[in-house]
Amino acid sequence: MSLDLRTAHTADLTPAELRSVRGLLYDAFDADFGDEDWDHTVGGMHALAYDERGLAGHGAVVMRRVRYRTRWLRVGYVEGVAVRRDVRRTGIGDRIMGALEGVVTRAYDFGALSASDEGAQLYTSRGWRTWAGRICALGPDGVVRLPEEEGTTFVWPAPADVDDPEAELVFDWRDGDVL
C-alpha cells in the first residue's frame, strides 16, 4: 500500500480536507463525534495519511496548559486519532503517531492524551505511559477532580523535570469532554 503522510496546521487545510477529516472521525467514532469534539481537534497541527482511496488516517496536536505542582506547562494534547475502517491494523496509526510525536518533541514540554481501551495499545507500544497521579481541570468554580480520566490519561515522553509521576495534573478547562 502506498501512503502519503503530511503534517499541516488547521489554517493550511482546505475546507474539503477539513470536511474529509471530520467525516473520517465521525465514522471512526461510530457517530459519537460532535461539535465540541471537532472544536477540540482543530487549531493545531494535523497528521494526515492518504492512500489511493483518499484520507486513510488522521491525528492532531493542540496546545493545552497543564499545571504540575506550581508550574503551568505547555502540553501537546493529541486529539482525533483515527484510521479508516478498511485499513486499520496496517501501521497507519503508528505512522500518524510518529508524526505527532515529532510535533510534540519540537514544540511542547511533553505530550498528553486520553485513550480509549481500543487506542491504549497503540500508545503504550510507542512508549506513552499512563499518568499515575490525580487528573483534574481548572474549571469556572476552581479545581475539579476528573476521576474518570485517571488511568486513561497518557503522557509522552517522560518529562525530565516532571519527576513525580504520581503528582496531580491540572488541565485547562474546555467545553464538552474536558480531556
Question: Where are the domains positioned within the chain?
Answer: 4-172
Whether CATH 3.40.718.10 fits 4-172 = no
In 3D space, the residue among 120, 123, 179 whose CA is nearest the CA of residue 156 turns out to be 123
> Grid cell 457517530 — which residue?
31
Q: What is the mean pLDDT of the segment spanning 40-57?
A: 98
In the 8-state DSSP scheme, what is residue 157?
Answer: S
Residue 47: strand pairing partners: 7, 59
- Which of the four pLDDT bands, split at 50, 70 and 90, describes residue 87? very high
Share of the chain above pLDDT 90, in %: 88
pLDDT of 118: 86
pLDDT of 64: 97
Spatial distance between the Cα atoms of 54 and 48, rounded to a whole number of angstroms: 10
Under DSSP, is residue 65 helix (H, G, I), strand (E, B) or coil? Answer: strand
29: pLDDT strictly greater than 90? yes
179: pLDDT strictly greater than 90? no
9: pLDDT strictly greater than 80? yes
- pLDDT 10s digits, 154-176: 999 877 777 787 899 999 999 88
- pLDDT 10s digits, 110-169: 999 999 988 999 999 999 999 999 999 999 999 999 999 999 999 998 777 777 878 999
pLDDT of 161: 72
pLDDT of 106: 96
Q: Which residue has the higher pLDDT, 159 or 47?
A: 47
* Backbone torsion region of residue 89, taken as left when φ is above 0, otherwise alpha when ψ lies between -120 and 50, otherwise beta: left
Alpha-carbon Rg for the chain in angstroms: 16
> What's the pTM?
0.95
Residue 43: strand pairing partners: none
Helices (H), 42-172: 92-107, 117-125
Q: Which residues contact 169 (CB under 8 A, 6 or more apart)?
A: 66, 67, 68, 112, 131, 133, 134, 135, 136, 153
Spatial distance between the Cα atoms of 113 and 117, rounded to a whole number of angstroms: 13
